[in-house]
Amino acid sequence: MSTEPSPETDPSFPDNVEAGLSRTDPDRWLSSRFAPGPAVRRALVALYAFDNELGRAPRAASNPLVAEMRLAWWREVLEEIASGRAVRRHPVALALADVVRTHGLDRGILEALVDARLRELDPRPMVLEEALEWAEGTGGACARLAAAVLDPACDPAA
């Protein structure tokens, strides 16, 4: 019976996620370097890498349907994590599963990240209300998750 790789069982695993984030989002990767301790840094890197994967879906897909399928794939990953099942062998999915399970992150906030990216598939320009909702669902949701990792007692609405 094979075991799923994790930061504890596969020493190259965190490096794959780290390297990807440092290449695709050097600012957030650099900000993670200031977090206290390697476990918190890995958790932040996993969250930021997940957010990058979601943000990449609309840009990397050849058409909106393919982008929607990519986002549905990530929604299925969230379901696997929530149900405690084995998670797909994707470095970011595995890292995210570890963070969600270790820190008890709110599934609703994670799903809000996916939902907000669906709006990007609509070619219509956003009106102000939609843009604010999108910003809250993308960067805002990711910031709330990072805050929960950094300080589990924090008020996510603050």
Give the tens place of pLDDT for each residue, 45-78. 999 999 999 999 988 888 899 999 999 999 999 9
What is the Cα–Cα distance from 119 to 112, expressed in whole angstroms? Answer: 11
Q: What is the pLDDT of residue 109?
A: 93
Q: What is the pLDDT of residue 48?
A: 97
What is the Cα–Cα distance from 32 to 9, expressed in whole angstroms? Answer: 22
CA dihedral 79, 81, 84, 90 (to 10 degrees): 110
Q: What is the pLDDT of residue 2?
A: 43
In tens, the pLDDT along 28-47 reads 999 999 999 999 999 999 99
In tens, the pLDDT along 79-105 reads 999 999 999 999 999 999 999 999 999
- Give, for 20, the enclosing helix (H) or strand (E): helix 13-24
Distances from the Cα of 6 to the Cα of 14, 29, 112, angstroms: 8, 20, 25
What is the Cα–Cα distance from 100 to 96, expressed in whole angstroms? Answer: 6
Q: What is the pLDDT of residue 59?
A: 85
Q: What is the pLDDT of residue 157?
A: 73
Half-sphere exposure of residue 29: CA atoms within 13 angstroms, side-chain side: 15
What residue has token string 């990058």? 52
What residue has token string 């949701």? 141
The encoded tokens of residue 62 equal: 């050849």
Averaged confidence pLDDT in the chain: 89
Entry field: residues in the chain: 158
pLDDT bin (cut points 50, 70, 90) of residue 15 is low
Q: What is the pLDDT of residue 7?
A: 44
Residue 12: pLDDT above 80?
no
